[in-house]
């Protein structure tokens, strides 16, 4: 078994029904947070953690994501001719190495578990991999969520899930884990439950959308029956996997934005804008003016 996390799976085949009509013709992963598409922010996080290969699970109407991660010949030639060196360098710095991306189609939005299963041949059966849900932006004030998880993985092995606290009265809306030590940065998971009934959650730590999984998950997903919402649920297969292998919760201390929801998207734009030194002074002034008016 190869124990280096080299590959990341990024599922982008969902329909984005919470964000209509914006997502009718534009994939929600291509909506921008400041001047970068949501999915680019997630690739940035994965690259910073040392990921070398990106496996995108796509679907119909998502072709523009593939174009985004390719070079744009006419654009680059024009920038070069016009001497726009800074813009050109920025574009090239974002470009993944040739051969470092794979795109495979899910063929139908059958659920996150099914989307992950579609990566089985590209990941193979002898290396653990990262999984990042692109609509969940993890705004870190440190190394990055996935980078922290890979550090924890190097120490403990097994499977890892990023978690963060939510208010007790909201646990029924999330995947929740129970852990040995609620306060620890990394702690063994003792229970996993998808959307627990009110008052039954084992803790207030919710699954935030970053995972390191062993390839054993693929066999479990292959036999996984449809669960909540008639979809093949990743959590159901992770629960089965947790009977065979250890799972650890890795607490994320930064801010998380669900950009698949309208409020999360708006907040992410404000927060990421305020953290940019070229935009912060004017943006802050304008927000204050709006709030006063």
Piece of the chain touching ligand UTP by CB under 6 A; list 9-17, 78-86, 87-95, 269-277: 9-17
Does 17 engage in binding with ligand UTP (CB under 6 A)?
yes
Return left, alpha or beta for 34; rule: phi > 0 is left, psi -120 to 50 is alpha, else beta: left
Does 112 engage in binding with ligand UTP (CB under 6 A)?
yes
Say how many residues touch ligand UTP, by CB under 6 A.
Answer: 21
Piece of the chain touching ligand UTP by CB under 6 A; list 14-22, 47-55, 137-145, 276-284: 14-22
Q: What is the DSSP letter of 18?
A: G
The contact mask relative to ligand UTP for 47-76 (x = CB under 6 A, - = no) is ----------x-------------------
- One of 51, 130, 133, 177 touching ligand UTP (CB under 6 A): 133
Q: Which of residues 18-37 bind ligand UTP (CB under 6 A)?
A: 18-19
Kindly tell me the sign of the dihedral angle through the C-alpha atoms of 100, 106, 233, 244.
negative
Closest approach of Cβ 227 to ligand UTP, in Å?
13
DSSP string, 85-145: HHHHHHHHHHSPPTT-EEEEE-SS---HHHHHHTTHHHH-SS--EEEE-TTEEEE-SSS-H
Q: Which of residues 149-178 bind ligand UTP (CB under 6 A)?
A: none
- One of 40, 106, 171, 203 touching ligand UTP (CB under 6 A): 106
Closest approach of Cβ 78 to ligand UTP, in Å?
32
Piece of the chain touching ligand UTP by CB under 6 A; list 133-141, 146-154, 171-179, 219-227: 133-141
**Residue of 84, 90, 115, 112 lying closest to 40 (CA atoms):** 90
Contacts of 53 (CB under 8 A, 6+ apart): 6, 7, 8, 100, 101, 102
Closest approach of Cβ 230 to ligand UTP, in Å?
11
Q: Phi/psi at 54 (nearest 5 deg)?
A: -115, 120
Residue 152: Cβ within 10 Å count: 20
Closest approach of Cβ 146 to ligand UTP, in Å?
15
Return the residue nearest ligand UTP (CB atom). Answer: 14
Does 115 engage in binding with ligand UTP (CB under 6 A)?
yes
Residue 263: Cβ within 10 Å count: 10
Take residue 60 and report the two structure tokens written for it: 């119909």
CA 14 to chain centre: 13
Does 109 engage in binding with ligand UTP (CB under 6 A)?
yes
Contacts of 26 (CB under 8 A, 6+ apart): 64
Does 264 engage in binding with ligand UTP (CB under 6 A)?
no
Q: Phi/psi at 175 (nearest 5 deg)?
A: -80, 130
Does 135 engage in binding with ligand UTP (CB under 6 A)?
yes
Return residues touching ligand UTP (CB under 6 A).
11-19, 57, 106, 109-112, 114-115, 133-135, 260
């Amino acid at each position: 078994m190869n124990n280096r996390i080299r590959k990341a799976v990024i599922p982008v085949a969902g329909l984005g029904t919470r964000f209509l009509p914006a997502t009718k013709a534009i994939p929600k992963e291509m909506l921008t947070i400041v001047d970068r598409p949501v999915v680019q922010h997630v690739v940035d996080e994965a690259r910073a953690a040392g990921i070398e290969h990106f496996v995108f699970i796509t679907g119909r109407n998502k072709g523009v994501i593939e174009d985004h991660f390719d070079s744009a010949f006419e654009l680059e030639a024009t920038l070069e001719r016009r001497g726009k060196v800074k813009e050109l360098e920025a574009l090239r710095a974002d470009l993944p190495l040739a051969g470092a991306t794979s795109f495979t189609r899910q063929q139908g939005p059958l659920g996150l578990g099914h989307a992950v299963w579609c990566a089985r041949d590209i990941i193979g059966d002898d290396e653990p991999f990262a999984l990042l849900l692109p609509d969940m932006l993890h705004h870190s004030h440190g190394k990055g969520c996935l980078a922290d998880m890979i550090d924890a993985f190097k120490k403990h092995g097994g499977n890892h899930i990023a978690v963060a606290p939510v208010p007790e009265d909201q646990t029924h809306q999330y995947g929740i884990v129970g852990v040995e030590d609620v306060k620890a940065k990394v702690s063994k998971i003792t229970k996993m439950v998808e959307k627990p009934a009110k008052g039954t959650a084992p803790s207030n730590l919710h699954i935030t959308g970053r995972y390191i999984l062993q390839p054993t998950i693929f066999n479990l997903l292959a036999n996984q029956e449809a669960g909540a919402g008639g979809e093949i649920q990743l959590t159901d297969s992770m629960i089965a996997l947790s009977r065979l292998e250890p799972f650890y919760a890795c607490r994320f201390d930064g801010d998380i934005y669900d950009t698949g929801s309208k409020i999360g998207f708006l907040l992410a734009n404000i927060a990421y804008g305020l953290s940019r030194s070229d935009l912060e002074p004017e943006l802050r002034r304008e927000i204050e003016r709006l709030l006063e008016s």
